[in-house]
Structure 1
Amino acid sequence: MNTLILVFCVVVLGSSLQRVAGMGLGLIAGPILSLFMGPVHGVMVVNILAMINAALTTVTVRKDVDWRRFALIGSVMVLGSIPGAYLIKSMSTAWMLVAVGTVLLAALSVVTLAKRYVPATQATWPMMLSGVIGGFTNTLAGVAGPVITVYAQAARWEHKRFAATLQPLFVVSGGVSFAVKSLTGAADLSGTTWLIWPVGIAGMFLGVFLGGKLAQVITRDKAHKLALGLALAGGFSALLRGLLSL
């Protein structure tokens, strides 16, 4: 019951921030559910919930999606997801927590601290590279958004279209990560109660509703900073717990 309450609260918070800022559910739910459900099952649940949440959001923002960039980035995510899945198979729970925390903190550090130093580019290869790395980080830690954000900053991608395009990309990254981990035997959901799904979906609908209200009183930039701050705290917690368990 405690796990279900946690999932509901995390999904409400994450999906409401994602409704405003473009990303938030994976950033917040990834490290928190990794701590309480274990890094393998926690990230697997995040992959599916983030995929469903992004699919619902895509319907509302589809007119702003850059479908060309979506196709190029989304088509190569599997190339990063496969090595991520095999890495999961070879790691203990403690090392997985360390990996989840490290990957998340590294990605967020680039976004928050080094963004002013990212050189401008309009080339195709950085776009596709962000898809490969995003597939890897999403499979390992349940987050693809920060990596793609680095490319978006380099390409000077208009934020409204970038935030909209992230949604179908989250659908692809979540689906690819789930499929690859299932097919390689890196993870499964056999020990997960079915109640997580209706509870999570209920949290999504409430979060999207609250996010719509929140968008009227908080700027996109503030919501984005709040999501990043919560993700940093979660990443540090996962890293610390993993290190103490070694």
Structure 2
Amino acid sequence: MTTAIVVFLTVFVGALLQRISGMGLGLIGGPVLMIFMGPVDGILVLNVLAAINAAMSTLTVRKNVNWRNFAIIASMLIFGAVPAAWLIRVVSPDWLIIVAGTMLLIALSVVTIGKRHVPHVEGTAPMAVSGVVAGFMNTLAGIAGPAITVYATAARWDQRMYAATLQPIFMVSGAISFLIKHFTGAADLSAVNPAVWGIGIVAMILGIALGVKIAPKIPRDKAYNLALALAVLGGITAVARGVIGLVG
């Protein structure tokens, strides 16, 4: 029952904030689901739900998507997903949650504190690199957004286009991360309680529906900052949980 409530609230809030600001489900869901379901099963669930959530969100923002940029980044995701799946197979759960939580905190530091120091970049090479990094981070920790955010900031993407283009990228990254882990044996879908999927999808639909309704009334930057704050709290908790597991 506790896991069901946590999954519902996490996915609902994450989907709501993602519909408003462009990011949210991965940032919030990654650390929370790692803590309550484990770093392998929790991120597997997040990958699937994030892909479905992003597919739904893409339908509502498709007019603002830069499909060329999406194609370049999405095509590179698998090159980061493969080594991440290998790491999942060889690292213990406690170390895995520490690594994933630390990656999240570093990424959040870059997109907040370090954002103002990111130099201007152009061309497809930096865009491709952001796709590789996003694929690695999404497969390991369920967070593709920060890597794309750093590149989008450096490339001076328009905010509306950035938030919209993230959605199909999240859709593809979630699908790739799940498939890579499934076919390499890095994660086992049968280990997840089937009820989790129904609870997650219902929460997601409700979150997106409310997000569509209140998005015009909520400043995008405030929703984004809230998602970042919750992610920092979750990342710190995840690292602490992993450390306690190692020394306990």
Distance in 1 (CA, whole Å) between partners of 2:59 and 2:209 is: 15
Tell me which residue corresponds to 2:178. Answer: 178
In structure 1, runs of 5+ residues without a counterpart are: none
Q: Deviations over 1:104-148 (max 9, x none)?
A: 011111000101110011121110000000000000000000110
Tell me which residue corresponds to 2:218. Answer: 218
Q: Deviations over 1:77-111 (max 9, x none)?
A: 00000000000001111101101101101111100
* 1:30 Cα offset (Å): 0.7
Tell me which residue corresponds to 2:5. Answer: 5
Tell me which residue corresponds to 2:115. Answer: 115
Greater displacement, 70-79 / 204-213: 204-213
Amino acid of the structure 1 residue aligned with 2:219: T
1:64-213 equivalences under 5 Å are 64-213=64-213
Amino acid of the structure 1 residue aligned with 2:166: L
Q: Deviations over 1:208-235 (max 9, x none)?
A: 1221233233200000000000001000
Residue 44, structure 1, aligned to residue 47, structure 2: no
Q: Deviations over 1:42-63 (max 9, x none)?
A: 0000000000000001011111
Q: Secondary structure at the match of 2:40?
A: helix
Please provide the CA RMSD for this pair: 0.8
Distance in 1 (CA, whole Å) between partners of 2:10 and 2:41 is: 16
Distance in 1 (CA, whole Å) between partners of 2:182 and 2:219 is: 39
Q: Secondary structure at the match of 1:190?
A: helix
The runs of at least 4 aligned residues of structure 1 exceeding 4 Å deviation read none
Q: Secondary structure at the match of 2:122?
A: coil
* 1:184 Cα offset (Å): 0.9
Amino acid of the structure 1 residue aligned with 2:239: L
Residue 229, structure 1, aligned to residue 229, structure 2: yes
Amino acid of the structure 2 residue aligned with 1:24: G
Using structure 2 for the length normalisation, give the TM-score.
Answer: 0.97
Amino acid of the structure 1 residue aligned with 2:76: V
Identity across the alignment (%): 56
Count the aligned residue pairs.
246
Distance in 1 (CA, whole Å) between partners of 2:72 and 2:145 is: 15
In structure 2, runs of 5+ residues without a counterpart are: none
Distance in 1 (CA, whole Å) between partners of 2:63 and 2:217 is: 24
Distance in 1 (CA, whole Å) between partners of 2:5 and 2:241 is: 22
